Structure 1
Amino acid sequence: MEKLVNDFSFGLFFWQIIIFVLLLLLLRKFAWKPILNAVNAREEGIKDALASAEKAKLEMANLQADNEKMLQSARAERETMMKEAREIKAKMIADAKDEAQEAANKIITNAQAAIESEKKAAISELKEQVASLSIEIAEKVVKAELSDNEKQLKLVRNMLDNATLN
Structure 2
Amino acid sequence: MKVTHPESLIFWSIIVFIILFVLLRKYAWKPILGAVKSREASINKALDTAEEARKELQNLQADNEKLLKEARAERDAMIKEAREIKDKMITDAKGQAQVEADKMIQQARQSIDSEKQAALADLKNQVASLSVEIAEKVIKRELSSNDRQLKLVDDMLDEVTLN
TM-score range, shorter chain: 0.7 to 0.9
Cα displacement (A) at 1:159: 1.2
Bigger RCO (CA 8 Å, 6+ sep)? 2
Residue 139 (structure 1) aligns with: 136
Q: State the aligned residue count.
A: 148
Identity %: 61
Larger deviation, residues 36-45 vs 134-143: 36-45
Gaps of 5+ in 1: 6-16
Residue 153 (structure 2) aligns with: 156
RMSD between superposed Cα atoms in Å:
3.0
Residue 8 (structure 1) aligns with: none
Whole-angstrom distance in 1 between the partners of 2:59 and 2:93? 50
Map of 1:43-54 to 2, 5 A cutoff? 43-54=40-51
Residue 108 (structure 2) aligns with: 111
Query: Amino acid of the residue matched to residue 83 of structure 2?
Result: R
- Equivalent of 1:93 in 90, 96, 102: 90
Cα displacement (A) at 1:4: 9.6
Cα displacement (A) at 1:150: 2.4
1:60 correspondence with 2:57: yes
Q: What SS does the aligned partner of 1:107 have?
A: helix
Cα displacement (A) at 1:43: 4.3
Cα displacement (A) at 1:155: 1.5
- Equivalent of 1:73 in 53, 66, 70: 70
Per-residue Cα deviation, 1:18-70 (whole angstroms, up to 9, x for no partner): xx99xx6xx84xx9877776665554333323222211110110110111111
Whole-angstrom distance in 2 between the partners of 1:38 and 1:67? 42
Cα displacement (A) at 1:84: 2.3
Per-residue Cα deviation, 1:89-123 (whole angstroms, up to 9, x for no partner): 22222222222222222222221221122111111
Instruction: Report the TM-score when normalising by structure 1.
Output: 0.72
Whole-angstrom distance in 2 between the partners of 1:77 and 1:151? 103
